[in-house]
Amino acid sequence: MRIDLNGQTVETQARTLADLLAEQGFEAPCVATALNGDFIARALRPATRLNEGVKVEVLSPMQGG
């Protein structure tokens, strides 16, 4: 299926948000996630199903100042 990941269209076999993070190589404990603009808590990622065309944002913390 095709989804929008951080502003880019990607093809994925992932069916859940947790699967997508693993597939794309994100370190799940170290990122924040949003689905169609709504924050998704880490505990809910395995149960959060992905659908064609969904918009996913994955944000990593930054250091420095």
CATH code of the domain covering residue 54: 3.10.20.30
% of the chain beyond a pLDDT of 70: 94
Report the distance separating Cα 32 and Cα 42, nearest Å. 8
Residue with tokens 């944002």: 57
pTM of this prediction?
0.90
Q: Are strands 32-35 and 2-5 parallel, antiparallel or unpaired?
A: unpaired
- Summarised one tens digit per residue, pLDDT across range 16-34 is 999 999 999 998 788 999 9
Q: Which domain holds residue 55?
A: 2-59
Indicate whether 47 belongs to any domain. yes
> Would residue 51 count as lying in a domain?
yes
